[in-house]
Structure formats: structure tokens, C-alpha cells
A and B are shown apart, each in its own frame.
Chain A
Amino acid sequence: MNGMEQTLRALAERFTGLLGADAVITDPVRLRTYECDGLTAHRAVPGLVVLPDSAEQIAEIVRACVAAGVPYVARGSGTGLSGGALPRTDGVLIVTARMRRVLEIDIPNRRAVVEPGVINLDVTRAVRPYGYYFAPDPSSQQICSVGGNVAENSGGAHCLKYGFTAHHVLACEIVTPDGEIATLRAGGPGYDLLGAFVGAEGTLGITTKITVRLTRLPEAVRTLLAAFDTIEAGGAAVSAIIAAGVVPAAIEMMDALSIEAAEAAVGCGYPPGAGAVLIVELDGPAAEVEHQFAEVERLCRKAGAFEIRVAAGDAERALIWKGRKSAFAAVGRISPAYIVQDGVIPRTALPEVLARIDELSAESGVRVANVFHAGDGNLHPLVLFDDAVPGAAERAEEVSGAILDLCIEHGGSITGEHGVGVDKARYMPRMFNETDLDTMQMVRCGFDPAGLCNPGKVFPTPRLCGEVPGVRRGVHPLVAQGKAEQF
């Protein structure tokens, strides 16, 4: 048994005493269940898994890890798409699945307090009887956890109007990387540490309690589906809607290939022959929605929509959304394997970037299906390949990376909602320079100087913390080993 195994074994014993045997997993077969999150391309069997039930327990676990110099990673439901919850083989995976209590529903203050393992949609289920809901709606909302939403600053189809998790979290109780319990609150005295914490992908600590803002259910919701001959015509409709001063709750677009896939998978019955479909949803006070909906319909027709379907009720709305929501999985019907990309461009660059993606696809012979949150320029190109063909995965990966370069070139981002995680850390230097990344990591050094809290995520190269700038005392051991760079 090597040193690491000994350390992990000692920790397992300690955690068994703390949490009970049923909350500590050491069996290799069961550990394998946790080897990846929603992005299966990255796998690592965790050294040890614990299932704590309280903030105090998490604080104890973190303190023990820090004392032993062992890295740890928090995990909610494991639905992340960037490997943000990828475990460490030499570390502890802290799973919040047992912390699923809705602690308080406070309608007069329009807020609720939940534990990190609570499922996103369960917050809405709990408060819907009072006329409220939790606005962030990532497509995994039936299984993803609120703690994970906080880590990833999750969005969803409706974030165009309602914003991201960061806009809907009022406070977080966290276990700091020192193993202390602290509360970060928006609008309190001092720095907005909550603002930095949300979206830090679990690298600044572990959320143990979240106060979320609740949003009043809209009086009216109207949804339409518009079919266009070309993606350009659909894009023109999007621009016209935004230019008219309408802020829809959601504007989604699918191209011919993704429509074909959705049709094959779920038979969503979208208008035949469409080169693109647009789904536009408006919500709010009835009088506002009626007026704006008529405007949206008019603008779609003007942009060349050859068919417009208006949902008459919840069932028809669900049918319109069915094709869009099944699009990722549906692509499996037309391709043995695929990469889901997540990039952002300024909305106005949409036609140009889509044309370039077409060219990339034609040049490389790699098919790309396009599904996107058109309202905010968030593209989800699905890069299709056959994993049985040698070299196909590499070619797909190249096209996928080239699409990100396109996004950066047009002033966009390498990720709109899936996060950086381990998957895109290597792309960060294409979007930010060394000083930018160094400055971000100053926050990390403030929170986690030991670098044990979800290490290896977000940043391609760790920053060394404990030094006063300008004072160098020889070469740092990590630099000497080639594991880190100093800048």
C-alpha cells in the first residue's frame, strides 16, 4: 500500500466514525459509479466517496482533507457538462445527495432556503402552490441540484429574460476551503464574495445552504413555432424581434439537421421542409404579452416564416418544446457519437458565424447540427462523428475547437452555460491573457491558498498562492517538477 492509499484509508476510517459506515464508500465497484459527471469523456475513479448530511459534517471532512493534504471535490447530481465535478483518484468526493431538504419557504420575502442537494425543479414544485417558481431552468432541471446550479451559475432557455443563477441567489452558507462555515450574502457590508462564489465551479468552497429568490409565476405565457426556409431568415427574425424592443422569455432555434434528428427521435411534427425553426416564448402580464406576441408573429412573417403555429394551451406548448428539449439526445439517432459544444457569440454575428460553421463542416466532412439559444447568441453545435472510424473523434474534436475559436474571434465566449471545468481549461488562454487568469486566481488564492478545493478545474495552470509579489525565493518545487508555471 502506497502513501496515498494509506492516507485515504485513514480518512475513510475517520469519516466512518463521523458519518456512519453507510455514508462512506470505499468499494471499488461502487466508487466507479462516481467516475464522471455528465461529460463522460473525462473519467477518474474517486479515491473515496462520502455522503454527508450537514454543513458541520462537510466542515469536518474538509478540515480532515486539508490536514492530510488531500484534494476534494464536491458533487451534486453529477449532471455537469464540463467535468467540473470530475473526481480525483487521490482525493475525496463529497456528494451532497443526502442534503435534500427545503428548509424554509418565505413567501412574504419571496425567497426560500434549500440544501445544496435539492433538485432544481423541486424548488419550483414546493413554491408553485403559492404562485411562485425558481427561475433558472437548465435543461437538466429535473435532476440537477441547486448546489450544482450555484457552482456553475446555471442558466437555461429562459435566462434571456430572467438571468442566471447568480441573479437568483441571495445568500449561500458555505464551507470554506479552511473548513470554516461562513455566510456570503448579496448586498451585505464588505465585498460581494457571493458574486465571485456563484459560478466559480466549486473551486472556492462548498455550498451547504442556499437562499434563493423566488419569481412570481407569470399571468400569461404564449409560445409560437415559426418555420423558415433558411437559417438566415430565422436569424433575421430574431434580430427584428430584439430590435423591436421585445424581450422574450426565450428564443430558440434549430437547423435542418437537428430538426431531422428530433423528428426521428420523438416525432415532434415540425413543419416539413423547414431549414430552420424558431421557438419564441413570451411571458408576463397578459396585456403586455398579447401586444408583444402579435408583434412577434408579424415580424416572423415579415422575415419569411412559411408557417407559424401558436400553442393553444399547455399541451400544445409542451409539444412545441418537445423537439427542442430532445434535440441533444435525438442526435444519437442520426449519429453514433457526437460532441455537444457550448459557445457564445454576439447575437448580431449569428449569420456570419453560422456560415463559417457550414464551411468548416464542408471542408472537414464532419457534420454539425445547430441548436441554439438564439436570443442570447448561445450556440450548441452538435458535432457528429462515428467513433468506430479511426481518427473521426479527433477530426470532430478539431472542428469543435475551431467553432470555439470562431466564437472568440467574434468577441464571444467559450462557454455560455456548461462551464469550463476540466474540459475547456485549455481554451481559457485563448479568451483571456495571463494577467486576466492570474487576477482571477488571486480570488482563488484568497479562498483556497492550499489549492485542495476542486483543483485542476477552470484554470489551465494553477497560480502559486503563498508568495508576496515581487519576492521570489528560488524556484518553487511545483515549477521545478513542471507541474506549474509562474507569471
Chain B
Amino acid sequence: MQTVDALAKVCADVRPGEPEEGVLGVVPRWVAAPADVAEAAEVMRVAAEHGLAVVPRGGETRLDWGLPPHRCDLLVDTRRLDRVVEHAAGDLVVTAQAGLPMRRLAEAVAERGQRLSLDVPLAGSTVGGTIATGAAGPLRLLYGAPRDLVIGITIVRADGRTARSGGKVVKNVAGYDLGRLLCGSYGTLGLIVEATFRLHPLPSACAYVTSPVADAGTAHEAVQAVLHSPVVPSALQCWTSPGQGPALGVLVEGVPDGVAARAAHVADLLGPRAAVAEQAPHGWGAYPDGTTLIEVNAPPASLPDLLGALPPEAAAVWSASGHGHVGLPGQMGAGDVASALAKLRGALAPHDGGAVVCYAPEGVREAIDMWGPVPALSLMRRVKDQFDPDHRLSPGRFAGGI
């Protein structure tokens, strides 16, 4: 049977890929949009039988992250997998399909006064894509990243079989936690089809305390003062853009009286230029502007070194959780980006940190090492070989050529 017929037999929505659907320029031969998990499994089984290279696609917000796939025969579009499977409000747990937009998940659980404590830096991103890229924002300081909030996951393996780990209770140590392994795996280990998250109650009040700071040293001192205070902020951000000095923003959440007292405490710590508002400052939680986006792993005490290593053209957003993003503008040539990246890595290495390029224009990509040094790479390759022995899942998209 022809490949396309075999796919069409198991999935009603199969068509040839369009040129504009290229994954970093690699145009898929076919696009399949399975309607449910069983159909997704059938599509993956057919792909295995026909030796197709598969790239998953959700909301297309991070499809241009990473490297282009070596090949892409089949794009599996998850957008029809868009159901909230179960919201167990009394248990503070929700199960959703991979293609569900994060915004709709948020709306669904908000009806019961709850939230998934993950920021959505890019509107339109889906549950599956958020997990596959390990995306998080400012709330990461208190609530962690997807790895900390996913309590169960269902994937379709390279061979088309469906596998599950974890469950729908928060406290659970039965078996390996594949959910954490799949977080940030960029579609290279399996097709994520469903996930269960731990939820939190929506806070009844919140306050954003912001203040410009004179320089990197002052920023560092203020960050340390807030971190070591008993305020327990939900987020503590530092950002900077070309031509402007750094600024700090602290999010405090809780009950109204508590929030007022804690925000006042934070304002005290940040100094006389601090302002308190109920609304998030402009750009809160968004990635910095730029045609090259770099994710930095930069622990709290590395902040002065991080800020010091930024080229003047850079915009940056950093969370005191030790993670941040640096944006570099298109005017910077590939050589300048490469040296800026080397400088960042050099500044962060002594702090056990690093820098990974999320996306960059083609010319820049070719001039740089996107991932930098990858510790334990041989173990990663061996895990990949187990999950995807034929290297058909998003081949070449990931660290170390995986």
C-alpha cells in the first residue's frame, strides 16, 4: 500500500504538506491531524511501518526552536487533540490532551478558582508543546517548570504503542517518572498525547513591585535581599534592554492583607524608586525581543556576571529561579552573535550555568554551537536509541545531533 493511503486509512485528516509548513525550511511530505489518542497511535504505527521521520506540531509557537530536522516525512498536528479530559477540582488535578491551547486549559480550571502555575510566554502554545520545550516563565521561582508540575504523561512511542507513566495523584513514586524525562525533549523521544498536571488555587490578591536599579551590583544586592527575606515572592525578575539600565519586578500573591504587607516589605527592600501595582508591568513574562533567543541557566549569584557579559544590543529577562532569556537583534552578524554567546558561556560556566540558543536565523545557526557543552551526552544518546532506535522522531532537532 502507498504510504499516503496507509495513513489515510487510519486518520481522516491526512494531506500533503504545504511549503509554508516547513519546519525551519524542511517541508513535510504529509501532514496528519489525528482526532484522538487511538488515531494518533495508529498514525505513529503506520509511520513506523513505512519508516517515516515524524515531527510533532502543536500551536507552532516554538516550531522554529532547535535545529532543522534531518528529514521530515510526516508532521503530526496535535491540534485536534484539544480536550480537557478531566478536571478533578477537589483533587487540584487536571488531565488534558496535548493539542489543547494553554489558554483554554487556564480558562477551564479558572472556573473552579484554580490555575496551572505555569506562565505562557507565547500566546497560542499548547500543552504538548509546553512540555516538549519545558517552557516556563516568572512563576518558575515558586512553582517550578513543567517538570515540577506534570504528574502523569501519555506518549505514543516511535513504534506506535501508547505508554503512560505517573498518574493522577500528586504523591506517587510507582515506577520511573517519564514525565520529567519528556519535559524539554523536543519531540525526540515520543509523541506526547496527554498530560496530567498538579494545580494550585488562584490567589485572591496579587501585587507587582517594580523598580529601576542603578547597575548590576545594585540589582544583585536587591535580588539577594528579597530572596533571603521571609516574603516568599511568586516571581522575582530582572530585565534590561538596549540603552536602559536594569529593572526589577517582584510578584507577591496571597490573601489581600498579606499581599499588602508583603508588597510593602518588598518595596522597602527595593528602595525609594519602587512602585506597587496590581497590574503586571508591560512585557511581564514575555521573552526579550530579538531574532536570536538564548536561554541562560544562571543561578542567583551569577546575575552581575550575566549582566556584565551582555552585549550593548541585547535585551534580557532573568528570573531568580536561575533561568533567563537573552535576545539579540537581527543587525548583529553571525560572528558577533557567536562571540556574544561565547562570552555568556564563559561568564556562566564558573556558576555551573550555561547558555543554549533557542532559535536563530539560518546564517547564525550555522556559525554557532546551539547547545554548548552537553554533560552526560553519551547517556542521552543511549536513552534516545532505546526510545527511537531508527532515529525517526524529530531527527537532528536536539542537543548533540539527537
Partners in one complex: yes
Q: For residue B389, which residue of chain A has the nearest CB?
A: A468
Is A167 touching B254 in the complex (CB atoms < 8 A)?
no
Q: Which of A152-173 contact B (CB under 8 A)?
A: 152-153, 155, 159, 163-164, 166-167, 171
B1: interface (CB < 8 Å) = no
Is A373 touching B171 in the complex (CB atoms < 8 A)?
yes
A109: interface (CB < 8 Å) = yes
Interface-located stretch among A187-195, A266-274, A320-328 = A187-195
A458: interface (CB < 8 Å) = yes
Is B379 touching A346 in the complex (CB atoms < 8 A)?
no
Is A346 touching B168 in the complex (CB atoms < 8 A)?
yes
Q: How many residues of A contact B (CB 8 A)?
A: 94
The smallest C-beta distance from B388 to any residue of chain A, in angstroms, reads 10
Q: Which A residues touch B262, using CB under 8 A? A: 285, 287-288
B284: interface (CB < 8 Å) = no
A252: interface (CB < 8 Å) = no
Is B169 touching A287 in the complex (CB atoms < 8 A)?
no
Q: How far is the CA of A184 from the CA of B200 in the complex (A)?
A: 29
Is A187 touching B379 in the complex (CB atoms < 8 A)?
no
A212: interface (CB < 8 Å) = no
A4: interface (CB < 8 Å) = no
Is B301 touching A131 in the complex (CB atoms < 8 A)?
no
Q: For residue B382, which residue of chain A has the nearest CB?
A: A446
Q: Which B residues touch A419, using CB under 8 A? A: 173
Q: Which of A398-430 contact B (CB under 8 A)?
A: 411-420, 424, 428
Q: For residue B169, which residue of chain A has the nearest CB?
A: A344
> Given contacts A110-B300, A291-B255, are A182 and B383 in contact (CB under 8 A)?
no
Chain A 215-244, CB-CB to B under 8 Å as 1, else 0, gives 011110000000000000000000100110
Q: For residue A465, which residue of chain B has the nearest CB?
A: B386
Is A458 touching B300 in the complex (CB atoms < 8 A)?
no
Q: Which A residues touch B134, using CB under 8 A? A: 192
Q: Which A residues touch B269, using CB under 8 A? A: none
Is B255 touching A292 in the complex (CB atoms < 8 A)?
yes
Chain B 350-371, CB-CB to A under 8 Å as 1, else 0, gives 0110101000000000000001
B183: interface (CB < 8 Å) = yes
Q: For residue A106, which residue of chain B has the nearest CB?
A: B301
B119: interface (CB < 8 Å) = no
A189, A247, A433: which contacts B399 (Cβ < 8 A)? A189
A183, A193, A287: which contacts B181 (Cβ < 8 A)? A193
Q: How far is the CA of A486 from the CA of B134 in the complex (A)?
A: 33
Q: Which B residues touch A415, using CB under 8 A? A: 172-174
Is B147 touching A186 in the complex (CB atoms < 8 A)?
yes
B183, B228, B257: which contacts A131 (Cβ < 8 A)? B228
Q: Which A residues touch B171, using CB under 8 A? A: 155, 159, 164, 344, 373, 376-378, 413, 416-417
Chain B 189-208, CB-CB to A under 8 Å as 1, else 0, gives 10000000000111110000
Q: Which A residues touch B159, using CB under 8 A? A: 469
A109, A219, A239, A433: which contacts B230 (Cβ < 8 A)? A219
Q: Which of B95-120 contact A (CB under 8 A)?
A: 113
> Given contacts A191-B185, A344-B171, are A243 and B300 in contact (CB under 8 A)?
no
Is B184 touching A192 in the complex (CB atoms < 8 A)?
yes
A439: interface (CB < 8 Å) = yes
B45: interface (CB < 8 Å) = no
> Given contacts A182-B376, A239-B90, A440-B176, are A191 and B383 in contact (CB under 8 A)?
yes
Is B354 touching A218 in the complex (CB atoms < 8 A)?
no
Q: For residue B92, which residue of chain A has the nearest CB?
A: A242
Is A440 touching B175 in the complex (CB atoms < 8 A)?
yes
B165: interface (CB < 8 Å) = yes
Q: Which B residues touch A107, using CB under 8 A? A: 228
A159, A166, A285, A346: which contacts B177 (Cβ < 8 A)? A166
Q: Which A residues touch B80, using CB under 8 A? A: none
The smallest C-beta distance from B273 to any residue of chain A, in angstroms, reads 24
Is B372 touching A189 in the complex (CB atoms < 8 A)?
yes
A395: interface (CB < 8 Å) = no
The smallest C-beta distance from B158 to any residue of chain A, in angstroms, reads 9
Q: How far is the CA of A419 from the CA of B176 in the complex (A)?
A: 11
B215: interface (CB < 8 Å) = no
Chain B 254-267, CB-CB to A under 8 Å as 1, else 0, gives 11011011100000
Chain B 110-132, CB-CB to A under 8 Å as 1, else 0, gives 00010000000000000000000
Q: Which B residues touch A188, using CB under 8 A? A: 297, 354, 374-375
Q: Which B residues touch A424, using CB under 8 A? A: 174
Q: Which A residues touch B162, using CB under 8 A? A: 435
Q: How far is the CA of A433 from the CA of B175 in the complex (A)?
A: 12
Q: How far is the CA of A413 from the CA of B91 in the complex (A)?
A: 14
Q: Which B residues touch A182, using CB under 8 A? A: 375-376, 379
B343: interface (CB < 8 Å) = no
Q: Which of A346-388 contact B (CB under 8 A)?
A: 346-348, 373, 376-378
Is B178 touching A443 in the complex (CB atoms < 8 A)?
yes
Is B164 touching A187 in the complex (CB atoms < 8 A)?
no
B169, B181, B227, B372: which contacts A413 (Cβ < 8 A)? B169
A164, A184, A436: which contacts B164 (Cβ < 8 A)? A436
A109, A291, A465: which contacts B301 (Cβ < 8 A)? A109
Q: Which A residues touch B180, using CB under 8 A? A: 166, 192, 194-196, 198
> Given contacts A415-B174, A431-B174, are A288 and B258 in contact (CB under 8 A)?
yes
B91, B93, B134, B173: most-surrounded residue (chain A CB, <10 A): B173
Chain B 213-256, CB-CB to A under 8 Å as 1, else 0, gives 00000000000100111111000000000000000000000110
Q: Which of A434-466 contact B (CB under 8 A)?
A: 435-440, 442-447, 449, 458, 465
A159, A199, A376, A447: which contacts B379 (Cβ < 8 A)? A447
A111: interface (CB < 8 Å) = yes
> Given contacts A346-B88, A376-B169, A446-B385, are A187 and B322 in contact (CB under 8 A)?
yes
Q: Which A residues touch B165, using CB under 8 A? A: 432, 436, 439-440
Q: Which A residues touch B383, using CB under 8 A? A: 191, 193, 196, 442-443, 446-447
Q: For residue B86, which residue of chain A has the nearest CB?
A: A411
Is B173 touching A199 in the complex (CB atoms < 8 A)?
yes
Q: For residue A444, which residue of chain B has the nearest CB?
A: B176
Q: Which B residues touch A261, using CB under 8 A? A: none
Q: Which 10 A-B pairs have the closest CB atoms?
A: A195-B180, A245-B201, A219-B230, A446-B383, A439-B163, A288-B258, A287-B258, A442-B386, A108-B301, A413-B172
Chain B interface (Cβ < 8 Å from any Cβ of A): 88, 90-93, 113, 134, 144-145, 147-148, 155, 157, 159, 161-165, 167-181, 183-185, 189, 200-204, 224, 227-232, 254-255, 257-258, 260-262, 297, 299-301, 322-323, 351-352, 354, 356, 371-377, 379-380, 382-387, 389, 398-400, 402
23 A–B contacts, CB within 8 A, in A order = A171-B352, A182-B375, A185-B352, A187-B323, A189-B356, A190-B374, A190-B377, A190-B398, A198-B180, A219-B230, A286-B230, A287-B261, A344-B171, A345-B169, A348-B91, A411-B168, A415-B174, A436-B175, A439-B163, A439-B178, A440-B176, A443-B176, A444-B176
